[in-house]
Chains A and B, each alone.
Chain A
Amino acid sequence: MKASKLNKQMLVAPYIYISPYFILFFVFSLYPILYSIYISLTDWNGSGEKLFIGFENYIQLFSDNDFWLSLWNSTLIFLMYVPIMLFVGLILASMLNSNWMVGKGFFRMALFVPNFVSVVAVSFVFILLLNTQDGLVNSVLRSIGLIDNPIPWLESPWWARFSVAMMVLYRWLGYNMLLLLTGLQNISKDLYEAAYVDGATKIKSFFFITIPLVKKMLLFCTVLSTIGTFSLFTEPFILTQGGPLNSTLTPVLMLYRESFQNFNFGYASSIAVCFFILMMVISLLQMRIFDDKE
């Protein structure tokens, strides 16, 4: 009697345990994304009638220069910060991994702090720092004589992209360094010892031992950064509003603009669907790469 009751419980319990997740998932994720696909086939301003127009939104989207520009901008921003971030991150990580470094705890925290500080707050600080006429960065550069004319950090397309990239770098350097540090800690110290005995310099061991052994971790960081860069929103939204000339427009910013500023919900949904597909492809790629690790 008792045993069978317990058995029954054992059969039912897992379903009850996972039900909150699945209910929420269906209501707030799955249903919306399917609904999104439907909306993307309509012309809808958010409150009136939905007018079914087939693939017209997609046709318009694929011929919309701003959409391609938003993808291009993300790619450029990615190229501007990811190589620096991984390279510097790896150097810093190997320093923290060495036994002779002092103040490890402090440095680790100091590098990591920007990652959890509110993006909105940091963006506003960057606005103050990067103001063309009266910002701190330009006034310091001018007073030490590096530049004569102020640099339009947020007011010319290339500088604006660069500024956004630097802010992303600022926020994510520490995080990636910590990931790389974990990778380094799995490398046996004996390898370095052996190399040292063989007369390899520190720089040589960095390039010939460290980099190959954390290759997987570097790849992993790159994938994470790809997802992060294409989903950028807050930084360009506050720093540049996507400007000048849409040079810092990102897919999510465009989605936000079309939906909650211009109220083209149908068109915005077609962006959302494309964004979803893009993210899915990257995630699948990530799973492929790291499958054997599990």
Chain B
Amino acid sequence: MKRKRILYVLITCLLVSLLTAACSSDNKKADSKDPATGNEKVKLVVWIWETAKDGLDLNMDAFKAKYPNIEVEFQTMKSTDLYSKYLITSSTGDAVPDIITVESTNMSQIVQIDSLLDITDRVAPYKDKMSAYKWEDATKDDKVYAMPWDSGPVVMFYRNDLFAQAGLPTDPADVAQEIQTWDDYYEAAKLIKDKTGAMMYGDSKTNSSNRMFESMMWQRGLWYFDDEGNVAVDSPEIKESADFLIKMQNEGLVFDARANTDPWGNAIRDGKIATVVGGSWHDAIIENQYSPADKGKWSVTLMPKWSKDDKYTGANQGGANLAINKNSKHPEEAWQFIEFMLGSEESQVKMMTEAGLFPAMLLSDNASLEDPSEYFNKEPIRKVYAESLANTYPLAYTSDFPMANKLMTDVWAKVFLNKVSSEKALKDMADELRSKTKRN
């Protein structure tokens, strides 16, 4: 008896679900065949991650007022998932999403697969208004495929209370003077560990994001590949930088957690980490996410450099771009959206001051850079970012960056877990990179 009833329930479910499945697929077909005529509502699907979406949200009201016929749907996901999903999209020729957000780190890789809309003519008016280095990764064969959004000029965030306890200066200018080079940074790290027990920075031994290491390479104009595109990770300069970080780890001056994960953020909250050498976008992360209670304890200054005579002091970390799917049904509206968000100084400044996205756009009105930040000791932190950006080596991530970054993570793991020498680990990486990317 009971079983019979269950059977009927199951069969009813089947009928209902088949019906709805049939209906829903019909709906979808009707949707996609909608012609995008001027007066009708157009829906744009934007793939993006959460922190970037927070920036765009600030300008959504203004956008809706100006373009009432464009409806925007954000679909948030992890950036790495976003890229691999987009690779699948491109291979199937789907029209969704219309717009994707791409970090500069992966920009070149995505451009190579020829699935983005060529927007060379559209971005022409902005060519000189953006930081020059951003265009390189977005360009293939002189065609431009993405509009730069923000930069991540690397600076040093530091805990001035921990610095004071260790007997170090706390004023940004004095700190920049005291910690000019990475060697100075190392000395300061020992002092801080001694006096306060705090670690200098956070980075994982076995699962590093390599962000610190890459910033150190970048400021010296070094990269996984040299100017001719040959693999360069086995060069003596790169080994020098790597050895410096290995020394920091081996002497127990580093908190062992991958940067920008929860354990790392908790260590920041608990005052276990004294500095964050990272992109300017860390200000929002420190202020809003991990350490909202520590107002006034954090300050910002320029990052240390390798040697005192180095010309460049800054580096770039991340920063995003917006690009249009080649198969989008609404390229015109998609561009209107991008231009509204990234092409206007007003919306860029808003995202900078309220969401910590330092624009790739070179601002004509610098007043907003002078604004003091309440949280960061009433210092004009964005002036530091601008200074860093002005002193950044013009370098591109290149298309094989994601692979190189992944292999680099393994280099650290080999050094710390398997006790392989840095020289051998880097040499092995270079060989693997050469064979996988068919470079020299």
Contacts and interface: CB of A to CB of B under 8 A. Distances in A.
**A contacts B directly (C-beta below 8 A):** yes
Interface of A: 45-47, 131-134, 152, 155-157, 243-246, 260-261, 263
Interface string B186-204: 0000000000000000001
B108 to A, nearest CB: 16
B87 interface: yes
B417 interface: yes
B262 interface: yes
B206 A47 contact: no
Nearest to B416: A156
A264 B262 CA distance: 33
A47 B91 contact: yes
A152 B206 contact: yes
A155 B207 contact: yes
Contacts of A246: 410
Given A244-B417, A260-B84, A261-B84, A133 B206 contact: no
A244 B263 contact: no
A281 to B, nearest CB: 31
Contact of A260 (B88, B90, B413): B88
A133 B266 contact: yes
Given A133-B257, A134-B262, A261-B84, 16 more contacts: A131-B262, A132-B256, A132-B263, A134-B263, A134-B266, A155-B204, A155-B205, A155-B207, A156-B417, A157-B417, A243-B409, A243-B413, A245-B410, A245-B417, A245-B418, A263-B91
B267 interface: yes
Interface in B403-423: 409-410, 413-414, 417-418
B210 to A, nearest CB: 14
A248 to B, nearest CB: 12
B267 A245 contact: no
B414 A245 contact: yes
Nearest to B204: A155
B216 to A, nearest CB: 22
Given A244-B207, A263-B87, A133 B263 contact: yes
A214 B204 CA distance: 47
Interface string B258-275: 000011001100000000
Contacts of A133: 256-257, 263, 266-267
A245 B205 CA distance: 12
B91 A46 contact: yes
Interface string B23-59: 0000000000000000000000000000000000000
Contacts of B90: 47
A162 to B, nearest CB: 15
Contacts of A132: 256-257, 263
A149 to B, nearest CB: 10
B436 to A, nearest CB: 9
A240 to B, nearest CB: 9
Contacts of A261: 84, 87
Contacts of A156: 206, 417
Nearest to A48: B91
Contacts of A263: 87, 91
22 contacts: A45-B91, A131-B262, A132-B263, A133-B256, A133-B263, A134-B262, A134-B263, A152-B206, A155-B204, A155-B207, A156-B206, A156-B417, A243-B409, A243-B413, A244-B413, A245-B206, A245-B414, A245-B418, A260-B88, A261-B84, A261-B87, A263-B87
Residue from B88, B267, B413 whose CB has the most chain A CB atoms within 10 Å: B413
B263 to A, nearest CB: 4
Residue from A155, A156, A260 whose CB has the most chain B CB atoms within 10 Å: A155
B43 to A, nearest CB: 26
Contact of A244 (B206, B256, B262): B206
B88 A245 contact: no
A133 B204 CA distance: 11
A45 B91 CA distance: 9
Nearest to A132: B263
Nearest to B84: A261
A244 B410 CA distance: 8
A27 B91 CA distance: 22
A183 B335 CA distance: 67
A66 to B, nearest CB: 10
Interface string B80-101: 0000100110110000000000
A260 B418 CA distance: 30
Contacts of A131: 262-263
A245 B414 CA distance: 8
B298 to A, nearest CB: 21
Nearest to A265: B91
B433 to A, nearest CB: 14
A243 B84 CA distance: 18
Contacts of B263: 131-134
Contacts of B84: 260-261
B291 to A, nearest CB: 16
List the 3 closest A-B pairs by CB distance, nearest first: A133-B263, A244-B206, A47-B91
A132 B256 CA distance: 9
Contacts of B257: 132-133
A159 B79 CA distance: 28
A55 to B, nearest CB: 18
B412 to A, nearest CB: 10
B61 to A, nearest CB: 35
Contacts of A157: 417
A133 B410 CA distance: 21
A243 B90 CA distance: 28
Contacts of B418: 245
Residue from A134, A157, A244 whose CB has the most chain B CB atoms within 10 Å: A244
B187 to A, nearest CB: 26
B252 to A, nearest CB: 11
A134 B88 CA distance: 36
A134 B266 CA distance: 8
B424 to A, nearest CB: 14
Contacts of B267: 133
